[in-house]
Amino acid sequence: MKVFVWLSVVLYAVSVTVAAPQGCTHKVKEQIEPPRGWVKLAPAPPDHIIHLRIALLQPNFTQLEQALYEVSDPDHARYGQHLSKEQVEELVAPHSESINVVDEWLASLGIQQSELSRSSAKDWVKVKVPVSLAEKMLDTTYHVWQHTESGDTIVRTTHYGLPEDVHGHVELVQPTTIFSRFRGMKTTYRLTSSNQQASDSGAASIRSASGTVVDASCNSTITITCLKELYNATGYNSSATNGNTIGITGYLEQYANFMDLQSFYAQQRPDAVNSTFKVTLINGGQNNQTLSAAGIEADLDVEFAFGLTYPTPSYFYSTGGSPPFIPDMDTPTDTNEPYAEWLDYILGVPNPPQTISTSYGDDEQTVPESYAQRVCASFAQLGARGVSLMFSSGDGGVGDGDPDPATQTCYTNDGRNVTRFIPGFPASCPYVTAVGGTTYVPEVAVFFSGGGFSIYFAQPSYQTAAVASYLAKLAPGTYQGLYNPYGRAIPDVSAQANYFLVWNAGEPIYVGGTSASSPTFTGFVSLLNDALISAGRPPLGFLNPFLYSRGVAGLTDITAGNNPGCGTEGFNATVGWDPGKLLNCEKSGWLTITIAVTGLGTPNFGLLKDIVLS
């Protein structure tokens, strides 16, 4: 029997004790290798301001996790009994001793209480300090780093420490070791008469794998009507007043344009014309309505999620904090992944939307493991409160996010450049629902859909049987050492992800990517929540325990499609859950591996509604 030991490929803790320049004893908290693609340019300017976030330990998180699984398991007595904001905060709050120790440490550095801000549960402390003070606090040296491909510059360090008496009370401090390059999951196509990608053979309609009748035009252009026909929701009308709401997150200066939405509604959802959504600006976020500033990602998300669910009240969260596109040495950014800023806000809201979609992410390995674990724990808080969170699984298979299998890479980011599957985050978090992509009718896996197995997160019990069944079909030793068979597997589900007809900057265009499948699946989850709330029942909340048990009967298994690249067709999809088609080929002495994914399958709203209401 072989025993596999999986180590973090990015982050490792070091317990070495060193003497800090200020005369106190520090222990190194985190240390990483310089990540691939980043080069050190120069020491950071001493007066450059860093917005530090200090995460205090959450000693009762295991109790929160237990509650999350109990209220999310349809076979548990507590199913649907979601926690309140106050109950969740009580379970994640740090000990008062931790708060006092950290406050005393900061005060010893001349940082007063009035200069601090705290999260609602007091588990995060935020403070603005110059680089010179941050270096003293953390016994480190910050540098300006540049990403060679994009030219982006940031202020970071590859290690930091904490005083010994503080060490055990703090989980992490950022920005320090985080080098992720946050991005959206979309691909854009121009609208042309030659964009018909599939022949309908002259037929007026076609039949989906679930048996629904779909207009043949849906094989080349996806509309609201196509999705409702395909996923068996034609004729269902949601409520505007029962308390159900839906949310879309926006990052990277992606602005959802009101004029584009009206053009979209006029074309695809005429009864929604003159309706709109509410915008919440977070951490300096904006929503520039200049037509030229309209974001393709944002327009895609709001048009389809809100078009599917009208007249359900809808919210768009525009979160600032993206790195500059054309930075220079005088203005490098120190911004964290903006998830933390959005989470600070949404966790403080007493009644957030019951269903929320996010179409952004990054390679898991570019996010320090401690930070990924902490952000994931915050998603668990929302799930325990009855919020369903969907995330795009990514558009690069298991490569580096490049949707072209011929050019993507599968190297570790720890300086060793070892070939390894590279999953995406936050989709790899076990407390969210990862959405992959399909195309055509009947559906097949789309070539760019992302997936794989996490290095950071253990495989949750709700999916062990499904994943074991898939892995048993692989020949012994297949891809050994290239992925973690004991890790959280993604995606969980899929939906259409190609040829979406979107209005952007005043014109119709085609858009594809798991940026399309995530808001689509989210729209149907919101309709399920609408049916539940109208029946006096609680919303679904964290979906995965339901999906992998009772819910699978309401999903259509996708068993066709491949992931071509490197001169091969890859493997076919299989019956049941699958991370799709693993592709293995040699190119110029290195190995490229990609995955196209469908998970448990695509939604059948009619069947799912009957299941959740039964």
Pairing of strands 213-215, 205-207: antiparallel
Which tokens sit at 321? Answer: 């904090």
Which of 515, 517, 518, 526 is labelled catalytic?
A: 515
- Residue 511: closest CA among 311, 367, 317, 295: 295
Whether 515 sits among the annotated catalytic residues: the reply is: yes
Q: Is the dihedral of CA 347, 348, 349, 350 positive or negative?
A: positive
Classify the phi-psi angles of 296: left when phi > 0, otherwise alpha if psi is within -120 to 50, otherwise beta. Answer: alpha
What CA–CA distance (Å, rounded) separates 51 from 55? Answer: 13
Are 539 and 384 within 8 A, CB to CB?
A: no
Which tokens sit at 385? Answer: 């409160």
Are 407 and 366 within 8 A, CB to CB?
A: no
Residues annotated within the binding site are 557-558, 576, 578
What CA–CA distance (Å, rounded) separates 205 from 226? Answer: 11
Whether 135 sits among the annotated catalytic residues: the reply is: no
Q: What is the 3-state secondary structure (H, E, C) of 528-587?
A: HHHHHHHCCCCCCCCCHHHHCCHHHHHEECCCCCCCCECCECCCCCCCCCECCEEEEEEE
Helix 296-309 and helix 514-534, axial crossing angle in degrees, nearest 10:
30
Which of 215, 253, 297, 414 is labelled catalytic?
A: 297
Residue 160's beta-bridge partner residues? Answer: 30
The phi, psi pair for 469, rounded to 5°, reads -65, -40
Which of 301, 334, 344, 443 is labelled catalytic?
A: 301
Q: Is 330 exposed, middle or buried (0-12, 13-18, 19+ CB in 10 A)?
A: exposed
- Residue 441: closest CA among 211, 186, 190, 194: 211
- Residue 8: closest CA among 427, 379, 416: 416
Element of type H or E holding 131: helix 131-138
Are 20 and 399 within 8 A, CB to CB?
A: no
Q: Is the dihedral of CA 334, 338, 339, 345 positive or negative?
A: positive
Element of type H or E holding 174: strand 170-174
Whether 400 sits among the annotated catalytic residues: the reply is: no
Residues annotated within the binding site for Ca(2+) are 557-558, 576, 578
Q: Which residues are catalytic?
A: 297, 301, 515
